């Protein structure tokens, strides 16, 4: 006969100290890519109320809790360390060139909608137009452009940086994109776009940015860049 589970334990052999709701919040954060407080008010409030406990716990995994109370977005981002075995447990693959270009253009769109009270949206046709603007010199394969449009949108959808709307082929730009690309000013973005346009079709890591510890947190995605921190 099994021994009874001690009071406060959630399962046999449970050595944890957090209650079930807080553990569930940790799972949501660790699962990623972020928590949107507008979609779950109770979860959002729990993260705010227990931010110190959450921060202490995720620090053991070389992560830190990032909260944007204005946008109601919370996510876990990796700390910057040179020692081995300190990288994220399950790092995501870097964004490819076109995915990065689209993300940067949508970051501009998000900034321009700030304070309007409306959510910026992008259609598939609009995404295609953006990628067509940034085509590599000599690229004329329209079929390839269509494929890149679909794959780029699919990647941003998977990262929840864009989310579907009730209209087919129309997407809302998530406020989380502002945390994924935390530029001090949007005036910096055109220089990044120009740098990416000069890259080849492969993925190029954008680990550093002049305006932030990291232009793209690996917990969300890695993007592209050529500069070093000042």
Walk along the chain (230 residues) and give the pLDDT tens digit of each residue.
455 555 678 888 888 899 999 999 999 999 888 899 988 999 999 999 999 999 999 999 999 999 999 889 999 988 888 888 887 665 566 778 889 889 999 999 998 888 787 889 999 999 999 999 988 777 778 899 999 999 999 999 998 999 999 999 999 999 988 888 777 666 777 777 777 766 654 444 333 332 222 334 433 433 333 333 33
Domain boundary among 90, 125, 141: 90
Task: Check which CATH number belongs to the domain holding 80 and give it.
Answer: 1.10.10.2250
Q: Which long-range contacts (CB under 8 A, 24 or more apart) does 117-122 make?
A: 119/172, 119/173, 120/172, 120/173, 121/165, 121/170, 121/171, 121/172, 121/173, 122/162, 122/170, 122/171, 122/173
22 and 71 in a common domain: yes
Place of tokens 């995501």: 92
pLDDT for res 201: 47
Residue 54, number of CB atoms within 10 A of its CB: 24
> Which H/E stretch holds residue 172?
strand 170-173
Domain boundary among 50, 69, 90: 90
119 and 52 in a common domain: no
107 and 69 in a common domain: no
66 and 4 in a common domain: yes
On the CB side of 132, CA atoms within 13 Å amount to 11
pLDDT for res 195: 74
85 and 8 in a common domain: yes
193 and 101 in a common domain: yes
58 and 6 in a common domain: yes
What is the residue-wise DSSP string for 53-109?
A: HHHHHHHTTTEEEEEETTTTEEEEEE----STT-S-SSPPPPPPHHHHHHHHHHHHH
**Domain extent at residue 122:** 97-197
- Domains held by the chain: number: 2
Q: Is residue 110 in a domain?
A: yes
pTM, 2 dp: 0.69
Q: Is residue 230 in a domain?
A: no
pLDDT for res 228: 32
178 and 111 in a common domain: yes
43 and 126 in a common domain: no
106 and 57 in a common domain: no
192 and 103 in a common domain: yes
Task: Check which CATH number belongs to the domain holding 102 and give it.
Answer: 1.10.10.2260
Backbone angles phi, psi at 165, to 5 degrees: -110, -175
Q: Is residue 65 in a domain?
A: yes
111 and 84 in a common domain: no
Q: Is residue 179 in a domain?
A: yes
């Amino acid at each position: 006969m099994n021994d009874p589970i001690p009071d406060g334990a959630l399962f046999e052999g449970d050595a944890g100290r957090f209650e079930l709701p807080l553990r569930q919040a940790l799972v949501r954060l660790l699962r990623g890519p972020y928590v949107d407080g507008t979609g779950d008010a109770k979860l959002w409030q729990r993260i705010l109320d227990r931010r110190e406990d959450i921060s202490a716990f995720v620090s053991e995994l070389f992560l830190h809790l990032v909260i944007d109370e204005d946008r109601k977005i919370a996510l876990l981002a990796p700390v910057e360390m040179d020692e081995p075995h300190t990288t994220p447990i399950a790092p995501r693959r870097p964004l490819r060139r076109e995915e990065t270009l689209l993300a940067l253009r949508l970051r501009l769109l998000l900034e321009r909608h700030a304070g309007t009270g409306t959510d910026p949206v992008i259609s598939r046709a609009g995404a295609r137009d953006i990628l067509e603007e940034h085509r590599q010199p000599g690229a004329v394969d329209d079929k390839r452009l269509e494929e890149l449009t679909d794959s780029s949108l699919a990647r941003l959808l998977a990262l929840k940086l864009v989310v579907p709307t009730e209209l087919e082929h129309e997407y809302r730009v998530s406020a989380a994109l502002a945390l994924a690309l935390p530029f001090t000013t949007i005036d910096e973005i055109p220089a990044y776009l120009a740098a990416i346009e000069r890259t080849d079709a492969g993925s190029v890591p954008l680990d550093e940015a002049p305006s932030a510890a990291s232009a793209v947190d690996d917990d969300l995605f890695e993007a592209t860049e050529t500069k070093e921190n000042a």
